Structure 1
Amino acid sequence: MNRTLRKLTLPGVLVAGTAAGMTLADVARDPLPDLGAQSAAPAAAVASANNLSGAFRAASSAAMPGVVHVRVTQAARSASSQVPPELRGTPWEDMFRGQRGGATPRAGSGSGFIISPDGYILTNNHVVEGADRVNVILSDKREFEARVVGRDPNTDVAVVKIDARNLPTVRLGDADVLEVGDWVLALGYPLDLGQTTTAGIVSAKGRSIGIFQRSGADAPLEHFIQTDAAINPGNSGGPLVDLQGRVIGINSAIASPTGFYSGYGFAVPINLARRVAEDLMRDGRVHRPMIGVEIRDATSADAEVFRLPSPDGAVVSAEPRGPGAAAGLKLGDVIVAVDGGAVRGSGDLMELVMRKRPGDKVTLDVIRYGDRRRVELRLEEFQADARRAAADEREDPRVEEVAAAAPGKLGFRAETVTPEIAEALRLDRAEGVVISAVDAGGPAAGALGRGMVVQRVNGREVGSLEDLRAAADAVRPGQAVSVQVRLPDGRQTIVNYRARS
């Protein structure tokens, strides 16, 4: 790392006369002014700063003995010069910088923290994923070879184990009591610098940055604590602690154009990580509970369509199945609470449910087109949806733009379903209209797509292009539009957005 030393100078101006308060003769007689005569910082301010420094020292001293350095090695593999976004800032980044072949294994490093005296250690999944060898160095410099007990790509949590006894452990705190603005410390071994502590505040909670979706997780759960405490490569897997030295998160990711600290770091809340770790330590895998619904964050358009008091909640965006269907949940329901815990978005819902176990009963508060109701259900264990996987692998259905309706305000074009299209989309009947193109710069971009069969627009049934034109004509500029469609895999969903002004 290049370091630039700059000389700081204070340009001085000599002013003649008594107005300056000092003459050249005065300087000659007393070249060093009395420092005691200068204004001192208020004693209360100094005491307050000293108290904060003392809190930082105490928190770091309490937690650091249980923080470890994790070193990993992996056999060399061919790699391209382009670093995938999900690997920037991880131990494997150097493998994608044009290094190819060779017998020398690649090395990386991260951090972790001891959660039991007999050697169980929490770290990140991405720190140990793909590693052929994992070594752990304790704060007292003792080194142990570790085995990976279990990993969870969906939450980026992993547990490793070393054979040792009477180890110093960290105290686990409660991330739920954190508030934006609270002081926190990030501990770990960044950039191979050795034990390091940085300080900052909680700058946001419940943050999702989409990094797990790019890593191939089948049910990604991102509900990060965001902090401006400096986090760099090598900090991954280390603890984020409060001023009592209690761990409230696992440092996992940074938002940076360079791969180094730019002011935004993200930590997995310890409440979630502890729940995942318990499963990994007991069974080596995570038992993930599910409601049986696909969800998305509520928007201002959803608030208008579904008559919500605020644009908060998790929208049931496809036909429920499993426990959700059995409990009576419906497409378009908005889940706003789980067992009394507020749900502001999909991340809140997933995190609250993940704290439970398959078989647990939960109570959901749901708003159905302005009507608030309570639903009880029993959670089931998540299984990969083979039907969804098959649909994802299916090629995009061929939809030609023939006799297309072009409702400009809606931001998409559609055509009549022909027998050929019905066969390609595996529809029961060759009837209705199918979306043939979506305006890339229009209001429906990213929400609707080719091959979706339009069933309703703002509650009006759509069975023909004439129906679609009539529905489009009834939409006012800037009005919330609610489009119910059938997807190529047979599922139904509701998409709400605002019409073009």
Structure 2
Amino acid sequence: MRQIAFLVVILFSACPTPAQQPPDALLSMQSALTNAIDRAGRSVVAIARVRKDLPADAMGDLKFNLPGLGRPLIDPSNPAFVPTEFASGVIVSADGDVLTNFHVLDDPKQNDYYVWHRGIGSQAVVQATPAEVLAGDPWTDLAILRIENAKDLPAIKMGDASQIQRGMFVISLGNPYAIARDGYPSASMGIVSNLQRAAAPRPDKESRGQAPPSQQLHEFGTLIQTDAKLNLGTSGGALVNLQGEMIGLTTSLAAVAGYEQSAGFAIPIDKSMRAAIDKLREGKTPAFGFLGLEPADLPEPQRARGLRGAIVRQVLQGMPAQRAGLRSGDLITKIDGQPIDGAAGLFREMSRRPANAHVQMTLLQGNPLTDDFQSKIVDVTLGKKYLALTKPGYSRFPEPSWRGLRVDHGTALPPGQLFGFSRPREILPVAVISVDPGTPAWNAGLRPGQFVQKVGDKSVPDPDTFYELVKEQTDAVALTIVGPGDREQRISVPTSIQ
């Protein structure tokens, strides 16, 4: 009690009386806050989601529905217009790219989106601009809206979430209750409460009480937790540091029954998330890494000895881990110098890196229960992860195809096709993902689950090379295909249906 009383006395002594000037430290802190809010606030926008009224046969386009015959005129610039579905966004390019959450947009085929932002060199005015979806990714819960014909918008300055620590001051900027349409996002202040927090899995009607399949990377512990106040409508807003740099994209409230306060979360803006954002800005959905092993948590005796990491329980034949020399019993301790703690930590680090990325892995090989083990560093080139998501991503540019055939990384096949062979075998880099019935590729005998080994007499190391080799071909093209049972055959794909 004496310690508490002493602390109260110190706090009251720091507070100025009406006749006193605030201490320099408080004035400096206040100045940093106001400067950060002013600097970053110009880049935070209000978003409204407005339901379309389109017939079913007119909903195949991602371009937004503008008012026309048979539809009421929606005028978001009218002060009387108050959206019922609203959120926040962050300007990430001067020419109109706006970052927000995937869950904010819902289905672009069924909704229009309007964005309010501050004009450059003028007072804040309501600017309601029909926006177009470039791409959205449910795995990272990120999406990009584009305001067409925009220029000189105040793009936010990106920070690096990998450098933040618990206890650092942060500011949340967003559009609570849709009140930021005047161009001034609301601010709240707090600290970084914790790091690498896990999002709660979303219930699935089909799960029947069982644990639902993972639908987000953030279920494995990526999120920044903050006690900054995040009200309804702040999803898609900016979490910034005292320099006004964006270190997180606010994403959700984790309300707990029986508690008045909620914990706020933000997606960290670090190297891997910036790579995903860049891919979305290109109008494409990002792909993520796959290692190809079964990890397990360390048993308690090893943890009691101070060891940390993930044990390799099984290495899958033909996968990136096997090609890099990993084997059952290895202890993975670091990925690119980042310490790993447990199977979930390994899964998180692999699943947030881009497909085909090169990573450096630190291993302990031998018997971790004794001193009979040695440290080893190996380089691994990741494959592409197959994601079974209930909500698919969307992109402005469709996946490439050729004569009805679509290929991808070999590891991107569904597990049933990837491992549905009579015996373990080498997984080749390029797999047939889909074939449209009735097309030249289909009629030639190509089917999902096969692997493309060669185009003509040239080897195919990756999907991009395949499309590069076939794009200029005007005649029939010979493909060397490896199918179930390692059966190799040469298939000629004609230019047209025969």
Q: TM-score of the superposition, structure 2-length normalised?
A: 0.58
Structure 1 gap ranges (5+): 1-37, 77-105, 392-425, 427-501
Q: For 1:325 and 1:143, locate their aligned partners in 2 and report how far apart those are by CA, in whole Å.
A: 53
- Give the alignment of 1:144-163 within 5 angstroms: 144-163=129-148
Contact 1:60 1:245 (8 Å CA) reproduced? yes
1:224 Cα offset (Å): 0.4
Is it true that 1:254 corresponds to 2:253 in the alignment? yes
Partner SS state of residue 54, structure 1: helix
1:257 Cα offset (Å): 3.0
Q: For 2:227 and 2:331, locate their aligned partners in 1 and report how far apart those are by CA, in whole Å.
A: 33
1:325 maps to: 322
Q: Which of 176, 197, 204 matches 1:190?
A: 176
2:331 maps to: 334
2:289 maps to: 289
Q: Which of 42, 64, 89 matches 2:41?
A: 64
**Amino acid in the other structure paired with 2:246:** V
1:220 Cα offset (Å): 2.7
Q: For 2:141 and 2:128, locate their aligned partners in 1 and report how far apart those are by CA, in whole Å.
A: 24
Is it true that 1:312 corresponds to 2:319 in the alignment? no
Q: For 1:261 and 1:316, locate their aligned partners in 2 and report how far apart those are by CA, in whole Å.
A: 43
- Give the alignment of 1:327-366 within 5 angstroms: 327-346=324-343, 348-350=345-347, 352-353=349-350, 356-366=353-363
Is it true that 1:136 corresponds to 2:131 in the alignment? no
1:274 Cα offset (Å): 1.4
1:349 Cα offset (Å): 3.7
**Amino acid in the other structure paired with 1:68:** V
Contact 2:137 2:285 (8 Å CA) reproduced? yes
1:35 maps to: none
Is it true that 1:376 corresponds to 2:355 in the alignment? no
CA spacing shift, 1:317–1:61, aligned 2, 3 Å = farther
Q: For 2:265 and 2:152, locate their aligned partners in 1 and report how far apart those are by CA, in whole Å.
A: 31
- Give the alignment of 1:108-257 within 5 angstroms: 108-131=85-108, 132-139=111-118, 140=124, 141-163=126-148, 164-194=150-180, 195-211=185-201, 220-221=217-218, 222-257=221-256
1:357 Cα offset (Å): 3.5
Q: For 1:220 and 1:183, locate their aligned partners in 2 and report how far apart those are by CA, in whole Å.
A: 26
Q: For 1:186 and 1:337, locate their aligned partners in 2 and report how far apart those are by CA, in whole Å.
A: 32
Partner SS state of residue 197, structure 1: strand
**Amino acid in the other structure paired with 1:312:** R
1:375 Cα offset (Å): 2.6
1:346 Cα offset (Å): 4.8
1:314 Cα offset (Å): 3.3
- Give the alignment of 1:80-119 within 5 angstroms: 107-119=84-96
Contact 2:254 2:264 (8 Å CA) reproduced? yes
CA spacing shift, 1:206–1:75, aligned 2, 3 Å = same
Larger Rg: 1
1:390 Cα offset (Å): 9.0
1:338 Cα offset (Å): 1.1
Partner SS state of residue 23, structure 2: helix
1:145 Cα offset (Å): 1.0
1:472 maps to: none
CA spacing shift, 1:39–1:55, aligned 2, 3 Å = closer
Deviation string, structure 1 residues 37-80 (Cα, Å, up to 9, x no partner): x994997973222221111111100000110011112369xxxx
CA spacing shift, 1:387–1:123, aligned 2, 3 Å = closer
**Amino acid in the other structure paired with 1:320:** L
CA spacing shift, 1:219–1:123, aligned 2, 3 Å = closer
**Amino acid in the other structure paired with 1:114:** I
Q: For 1:366 and 1:375, locate their aligned partners in 2 and report how far apart those are by CA, in whole Å.
A: 8
Kindly, what percent of the aligned residue pairs are identical? 27
1:313 Cα offset (Å): 2.4
The 10-residue stretch of structure 1 (277-286 or 62-71) with the greater mean CA deviation from structure 2: 277-286
CA spacing shift, 1:356–1:333, aligned 2, 3 Å = same
1:209 Cα offset (Å): 2.7
Q: For 2:20 and 2:327, locate their aligned partners in 1 and report how far apart those are by CA, in whole Å.
A: 63
Deviation string, structure 1 residues 294-327 (Cα, Å, up to 9, x no partner): 446x35xx242x5774363234455435101222
Contact 2:201 2:214 (8 Å CA) reproduced? no
CA spacing shift, 1:331–1:107, aligned 2, 3 Å = farther
**Amino acid in the other structure paired with 2:327:** K
Q: TM-score of the superposition, structure 1-length normalised?
A: 0.58
Partner SS state of residue 121, structure 1: strand
**Amino acid in the other structure paired with 1:156:** D
Partner SS state of residue 199, structure 1: strand
Contact 1:154 1:212 (8 Å CA) reproduced? no
CA spacing shift, 1:184–1:165, aligned 2, 3 Å = same
Partner SS state of residue 171, structure 1: coil
Deviation string, structure 1 residues 186-226 (Cα, Å, up to 9, x no partner): 10001223321000000111111333686865563440011
Contact 1:212 1:220 (8 Å CA) reproduced? no
2:439 maps to: none
CA RMSD of aligned residues (A): 3.4
